[in-house]
Structure 1
Amino acid sequence: MLPIAPVFLRSKEILQQLSSLLDSERVAFGELNSEAIVSIAAEKSALLDEMNLLNERRVNLLIKFNIIDRKKPLEEDFKTWLLEQDSSMDETRQLMEECETLLTLCKTKNQSNARILTTLQKRNKHLFELLQGHNDKSKVYTSRGATRPISSKHTLGRA
């Protein structure tokens, strides 16, 4: 019997933790809590590192049992093999489906958080430029074709 169910079980646990962290990250973005954001980023990184190790372990197990090709390991080969198995692999099939659902949910949450972060970065950049006395209308082209702001004598920092 293929001992892959524990790998999927741990993957499911990690994905649940990651989903919760992504929710916390969204709240931290809303509160502009930089300490929480940095802490959550470190936790996410640790979870993703463990997830990568689990994936390597899963692929190595599948190669060892000649379920996927060593030179070109494809996920579809494993899925096809799994569908052909009898009811003894029902638990593994169920865990795999739950992991795929959780992974899709995590990707959606992560993309949403990325859009929020991008918006926050643009807003902060605009506010910083305002403090420096720059705006979009007071930019000139350099000799290399880039733009740079024209400094102003009426900045908020000098007021």
Structure 2
Amino acid sequence: MIPITPIFIRSKEILKELSSLLDEERLAYGKLDSEIIINLSEQKQTLLDEMNQLNEKRINVLIKFDVVDRKKPTEEAFKNWLNTQDSSMDNIRLLMQDCEALLKQCKIKNNTNARILNTLQKRNKHLFELLQGHSSKNKVYTARGSTRPISSKHTLGRA
């Protein structure tokens, strides 16, 4: 039997932790707490690094047992091999399905957080331009072809 069950079990644990961190991140964006956001991003990076190591370990085990091609190991080849196995591999099939469902959930949450972050960045940029007396409508071209805002005489800093 191929020893990949512990790898899938740990992957499932990591994906659950990642999902929880993504929920916390969304809440931190709502509170605009940069310390929490930075801390969460470090935790996410640690989990993602461990997940990458687990995937490499899994691929190496599958190559060692001649389940996938040494030169070009693919997820599809592993799934095809897994589908041809008897019921003794049902545990791995279930773990793999759980991991795929959790991964899909994490991707959705991550995309949602990315949209929230993008909106916050646009809002902050707009507010910063207002404080400087710039307007996105009042821009001119420079000699190099880029644009720069025209300063207003009525900035909040001068008021």
Query: Which residue in the other structure is 1:126 paired with?
Result: 126
The SS at the match of 1:153 is coil
Query: Which residue in the other structure is 2:71 paired with?
Result: 71
- Cα distance between partner residues in 2 of 1:96 and 1:136: 49
Report deviation, 1:124: 0.2
The SS at the match of 2:137 is helix
- Cα distance between partner residues in 1 of 2:133 and 2:59: 56
Report deviation, 1:99: 0.1
Report deviation, 1:137: 2.1
TM-score when normalising by structure 2: 0.98
- Cα distance between partner residues in 2 of 1:108 and 1:156: 40
Matched, 1:41 2:11: no
The SS at the match of 1:137 is coil
Give the letter for the 1:36 counterpart: I
- Cα distance between partner residues in 2 of 1:123 and 1:43: 26
Give the letter for the 2:77 counterpart: D
Give the letter for the 1:118 counterpart: N
| Greater Cα shift, 141-150 or 47-56 | 141-150
1:122-148 per-residue CA deviation (whole Å, 9 max, x = no partner) reads: 000000000000002221111222110
1:49-77 per-residue CA deviation (whole Å, 9 max, x = no partner) reads: 00000000000000000000110111111
Query: Which residue in the other structure is 1:55 paired with?
Result: 55
Matched, 1:7 2:17: no
- Cα distance between partner residues in 1 of 2:35 and 2:122: 20
- Cα distance between partner residues in 2 of 1:10 and 1:76: 21
What does residue range 1-159 of structure 1 map to in structure 2 within 5 Å? 1-159=1-159
Identity level (%): 69
Report deviation, 1:158: 1.9
Give the letter for the 1:114 counterpart: A
Report deviation, 1:153: 2.5
- Across the aligned residues of Structure 1 and Structure 2, the Cα RMSD in angstroms comes to 0.7
| Structure 1 residues not aligned, in runs of 5+ | none
1:32-57 per-residue CA deviation (whole Å, 9 max, x = no partner) reads: 11111001000000000000000000
The SS at the match of 1:18 is helix
Aligned residues: 159
Report deviation, 1:154: 1.7
Please identify runs of 4+ aligned residues in structure 1 that moved more than 2 A.
none
